[in-house]
Amino acid sequence: MAAECKQNVLSSISQSVIKPFWSTQFHALLAHPRVTRVVIAISPGDHRFAQLPLANHPQITVVDGGNERADSVLAGLQAVAKAQWVLVHDAARPCLHQDDLARLLAISENSRVGGILASPVRDTMKRGETGEERYCPYRRARRFMARAHPAVFPPRTLVRLSDACAE
Where does residue 87 rank: exposed (0-12), middle (13-18), buried (19+ CB within 10 A)? Answer: buried
**How much is the pLDDT for 138?**
60
- d(CA 135, CA 117) in angstroms, rounded, equals 29
Taken as a whole, the chain contains a residue count of 167
> How many helices (H) does the chain have, and how many strands (E)?
6, 7
- Phi then psi for residue 122, to 5 deg, are -105, -15
Q: 78 in helix, strand or coil?
A: helix
- For the chain, domains (ranges, CATH) are 2-112+149-166 (3.90.550.10)
How many angstroms separate the Cα of 84 from the Cα of each of 15, 54, 67, 122, 156? 36, 25, 27, 34, 9
Q: Per-residue pLDDT for the chain (167 aa), expressed as one digit of tens each?
A: 344 434 444 444 444 444 556 677 787 888 889 899 999 998 888 888 888 888 889 999 999 999 988 899 999 999 998 999 998 888 777 778 888 889 888 888 888 888 888 887 777 766 667 777 666 666 655 667 777 778 888 999 888 888 888 77
